[in-house]
């Protein structure tokens, strides 16, 4: 568990630092200081990571944007898990016509340009945090549904599920009391993989100017600003890029560890 503890602690302290920064740091992320524009890192002790084109403190902006991206990724991952496990578990356990119908719907949705649809919806409606998490979560839910379907079909042939069926329990009872609880390890593995993907999708949408919060923004919006000022203020791109790499690596390591643990458990069962 050491390999999963380290990245989890990094993410925890990142969120904790963002909360403390929001409450106690003297330079809010949306506060411009026109006389301190484009300060390089360490050029002014009041702004250790420098400032942007209108003098906003880059330390508070990057820290809070990192927490925002991580929270959006986690929220989208949990939403993907909820939608995906309901669809996949139902299709895999019940089978038959319902399985075919649900999987064909998933196939059709996978064939659609969902990223373009998300861009159009966020452009048509006012971007907000819940809409963004829902749209990003739908992306991940399709892959989670496929994974949960295969796992539910495997569980449907297990002895404890067959015993529950022989005792006369309904399909809904078996699904809720025996199949879904035993999907938890596979679901955690899927979420560990989906969260980094959700962060990348959210960052791409924010890069296009569809961030839900102009006051804080996310790492994608900071990267968009950094690209514009890269020629004369490269730190505005490099620092958010390093922050995003850190967040993605942490979630990636957690996902890899969960996947390895799941493979080891399946190997022991075999």
Domains and CATH numbers, the chain: 57-269 (1.10.3720.10)
Q: Which residues pair with 44 in a beta bridge?
A: 47
Give the chain's residues under pLDDT 70.
1-2, 211-216, 262-263, 265-270
Instruction: Please tell me the distance from the alpha carbon of residue 182 to that of residue 174, in angstroms, as a whole number.
Output: 11
Which tokens in the block code for residue 210? 């569809």
pLDDT the model gives residue 122: 77
pLDDT the model gives residue 48: 94
pLDDT the model gives residue 269: 56
Instruction: Please tell me the distance from the alpha carbon of residue 122 to that of residue 204, in angstroms, as a whole number.
Output: 13
Three-state secondary structure call for residue 47: strand
CA atoms within 13 A on the CB side of 211: 20
Question: How big is the chain, counted in residues?
Answer: 270
Check residue 212 and report its DSSP letter.
S
pLDDT the model gives residue 173: 87
pLDDT the model gives residue 160: 86
What is the tens place of the pLDDT at every residue in 193-239?
Answer: 888 888 888 888 888 877 666 666 788 889 988 888 888 889 999 99
Beta-carbon contacts of 80 under 8 Å, excluding residues fewer than 6 positions away, are 136, 137, 138, 139, 140, 141, 143, 144, 190, 191, 194, 198
pLDDT the model gives residue 185: 81
């Amino acid at each position: 568990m050491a390999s999963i503890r380290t990245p989890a602690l990094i993410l925890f302290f990142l969120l904790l630092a963002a909360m403390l920064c929001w409450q106690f740091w003297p330079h809010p992320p949306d506060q411009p200081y026109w006389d301190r524009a484009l300060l390089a890192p360490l050029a002014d002790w009041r702004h250790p990571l420098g400032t942007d084109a209108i003098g906003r403190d880059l330390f508070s902006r990057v820290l809070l944007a990192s927490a925002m991206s991580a929270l959006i990724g986690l929220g989208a991952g949990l939403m993907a898990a909820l939608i995906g496990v309901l669809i996949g578990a139902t299709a895999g356990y019940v089978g038959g016509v319902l399985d075919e119908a649900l999987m064909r719907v998933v196939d059709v949705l996978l064939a659609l340009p969902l990223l373009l649809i998300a861009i159009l919806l966020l452009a048509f409606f006012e971007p907000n945090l819940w809409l963004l998490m829902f749209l990003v979560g739908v992306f991940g839910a399709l892959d989670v549904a496929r994974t949960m379907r295969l796992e539910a079909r495997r569980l449907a042939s297990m002895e404890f599920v067959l015993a529950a069926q022989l005792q006369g329990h309904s399909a809904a009872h078996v699904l809720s009391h025996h199949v879904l609880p035993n999907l938890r390890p596979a679901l955690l593995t899927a979420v560990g993989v989906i969260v980094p993907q959700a962060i990348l999708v959210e960052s791409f949408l924010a890069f296009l100017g569809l961030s839900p919060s102009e006051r804080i923004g996310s790492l994608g919006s900071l990267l968009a600003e950094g690209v514009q000022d890269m020629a004369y203020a490269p730190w505005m791109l490099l620092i958010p890029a390093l922050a995003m790499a850190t967040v993605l690596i942490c979630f990636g390591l957690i996902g890899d560890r969960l996947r390895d643990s799941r493979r080891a458990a399946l190997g022991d069962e075999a």
